[in-house]
Structure 1
């Protein structure tokens, strides 16, 4: 990679500090950036060599072709030696201060149950009330640093936010929240400044939705690395923006994700309250897929509470709503819920019932989880790790110790490549089941393996 001032680059460090260049970088106007470099005597061939593009690509960009893909923007920034923070692309020393403003600040003065009550009141006000964007929302809503904003924005600006969110969400699915959370939060510092810019009503509404989804992702990645207060901050802000953008479907998705935080913390009562609010928004949106996601997670909550009959009713409704959904028109934030994930949720719910109600549920959990695992590719490695852990647990419950231990080892092996606290936490039920069977060598070895894994992976 070329760096500023290196022998292979004609660009000096002062080039990036020029006011005109800084404005172009902040707006991600690659065409203008290249033109300014040309003025400084940098040839098209040099630009192409530094950015890994062909000369024809550089020529097209100089003629006005827009660059919006997140990965291409990162490659251009790194190739030219531009500090990523100047383009709002990811965490680095330049954006460190902005990231710190939205970091996970401990709120020791308030117990967790108080925070949950406050968030529920806020969620209810936003989801079913006439909430005013920017009104006092409580300590869980972040107050981003005010930064200079472009005077007017268009749909191209919004699409840049959407493209970045898609790229970062893919990284989260594949590698875990610890791999990309800082980049997501830094991306917000660039995107949120546009809220004060002028634009048409259509553009502003879509901007609100785009930024809501980016906050939604920031909340999800924060949750994945164990930063619960930070997750609540981002989800709270996401709710406000989604409501301002008039997207009931996204409101439902945000509430589902916050509910998942409480499920993970073994608070199914609080999770169910989030899901019930989410169900209202999902039904208002007219999206069967959004309804299916909520139903599946309600089933999970009822399973944790030991309510077998209600759980099975909701699994049935999940199947029905999913079958009726228009998957081709699904929004980015809900596209993940495909047939593989339906089987994953069915297997997960039966696993909980097998542990809490009746071990007979393993006969439903095992085939569902196996089907999901066999269909998952590397792009959803975290989901595969979750399911391997659950499948191993079922085999242990079913008395198939050897196979359960073998699948459990595979789960640990995959977890080692992921930056996800959730994956580590979800190995704990498997460790407990293996520990109960320490008289079997394979189970004992698995329990010890997971124990060592936890000891050496305390931080994401």
Structure 2
């Protein structure tokens, strides 16, 4: 039987089963939870000690301050011993979560080219406004019924948005492998709110919030190498974004799906998705969203070895970025700042630099752009730093500067130790191959061996 804590329980597990408490937990009304604990004789000091909060924080919550941050809710649940499922935070030993694209699913064995064509057709239909909501293409995550609030309002939607924002930040810093389970759990909870009665005026915002959670679930799945799962979540994200009337989110989902294909060396399919994204972006009037799509189209053209359209789109991305309004962009496009623009420029010229008979200027432009991006990241070992250091190392090796290449490669490996991302090691393969070709140099040979051992591990 579960109790709060173990040797020093504040209350027994039955305490969480009362109707009043279950309703408060279900709605994540932490103020009510704390008030019920106080009525049961638990002091503010005891609550603070169990949850890792200060007494002043506990006091503010008792006075009505809302708790919306996902990580704080998890800390409160774990500290007090509340079963996570009671708060819709479920992905623990006591709660089964069904994840799209599990092994043994016949859909996962379908020919990859067929899946790509199906997704592209589905994405095109959603982008132009076809009524496809809820159609099952074999990608949809299963959802079991669990208790939900009888009626939801803007506070519930804000909680979804706040959780998504917190989880997106974790993904950016630590990789999809660090937080994907939590994203799937949060999504499972959020989707059940669709069957609750809704206050007037929140329906579209709820659809968009759930769509963005699917968007994040797709991205973290992609980052951990779960292609079918990623595609399934991106498909649902498109549907919810369209039903919520948010073209900006539609464009962003298409950009992220395009990146999945770009990563797996399918630039033609990626380009089609980026171009669909441009159609949605044009409807928003958001130049920042358009800049993201232009930069990624440029990368796809660079992978195809088409320098002129790649350069034209880089210039368009720069122009759109300079003219964009960046004071309060949507969360899903907020990442694209000047640092990320320079990182993209570096990636595009790195791609061009690796082509046969490449102009040496591409590696020089890439080195300048990537160095600027890495400096702006401030030395924090994140997934982006691992990406940029990897590309910078590759360009230095192309230039024949083995010392700098090995040094930047070592930094890339150090950054990779802090993230859980299959993409990081996938992106190191070209660097490993080139370092192996230069293995007559001891530093280059050591770099190739380190990358290989890390990738295998």
Displacement of 1:18: 2.7
**Inter-partner Cα distance in structure 2 for 1:131 and 1:201:** 23
Match of 2:448 in 1: 447
Would you identify which runs of 4 or more consecutive aligned residues in structure 1 move more than 4 Å?
none
**Inter-partner Cα distance in structure 2 for 1:38 and 1:104:** 44
Match of 1:267 in 2: 266
Displacement of 1:271: 0.5
**Inter-partner Cα distance in structure 2 for 1:326 and 1:85:** 40
Displacement of 1:266: 0.2
Structure 2 residue 384 is matched with structure 1 residue 386: no
Displacement of 1:70: 1.9
Contact 1:359 1:397 in 2 (8 A): no
Displacement of 1:86: 2.1
Displacement of 1:436: 1.1
What root-mean-square deviation, in Å, do the aligned CA atoms of Structure 1 and Structure 2 show?
Answer: 1.7
**Inter-partner Cα distance in structure 2 for 1:73 and 1:377:** 30
Displacement of 1:416: 1.9
What SS does the aligned partner of 2:245 have? coil
What are the Cα deviations for residues 392-445 of structure 1, in whole angstroms up to 9, with x where unaligned? 000000111111111111111211221000001011010011111111111111
Displacement of 1:189: 1.2
**Inter-partner Cα distance in structure 1 for 2:136 and 2:381:** 34
Structure 2 residue 264 is matched with structure 1 residue 258: no
Contact 2:125 2:132 in 1 (8 A): no
**Inter-partner Cα distance in structure 2 for 1:375 and 1:210:** 30
* 72-81 or 250-259: bigger deviation: 72-81
**Inter-partner Cα distance in structure 2 for 1:117 and 1:339:** 34
Match of 1:415 in 2: 416
What are the Cα deviations for residues 315-360 of structure 1, in whole angstroms up to 9, with x where unaligned? 0000000001111121011000000000000000000000015141
Displacement of 1:174: 0.6
**Inter-partner Cα distance in structure 1 for 2:446 and 2:263:** 26
Match of 2:427 in 1: 426
Contact 2:4 2:79 in 1 (8 A): no
Query: How many pairs align?
Result: 452
**Inter-partner Cα distance in structure 2 for 1:369 and 1:5:** 49
* 322-331 or 124-133: bigger deviation: 124-133
What are the Cα deviations for residues 18-56 of structure 1, in whole angstroms up to 9, with x where unaligned? 333222212111122112222322223322222233334
Match of 1:249 in 2: 248
What are the Cα deviations for residues 175-231 of structure 1, in whole angstroms up to 9, with x where unaligned? 100000000000111111111122245211111111111110010000000000000
Counterpart mapping for 1:2-401 below 5 A: 4=4, 6-95=6-95, 97=96, 99-102=97-100, 104-105=102-103, 106=105, 107-134=107-134, 136-357=135-356, 358-360=358-360, 361-377=362-378, 381-401=382-402
- 1:108–1:10 distance in 2 versus 1, CA, 3 Å: closer
Structure 2 runs not aligned, ≥5 long: none
Displacement of 1:111: 0.5
**Inter-partner Cα distance in structure 2 for 1:232 and 1:255:** 11
Give TM-score scaled by structure 2 length.
0.95
Give TM-score scaled by structure 1 length.
0.94
**Inter-partner Cα distance in structure 1 for 2:419 and 2:433:** 22
* 4-13 or 117-126: bigger deviation: 4-13
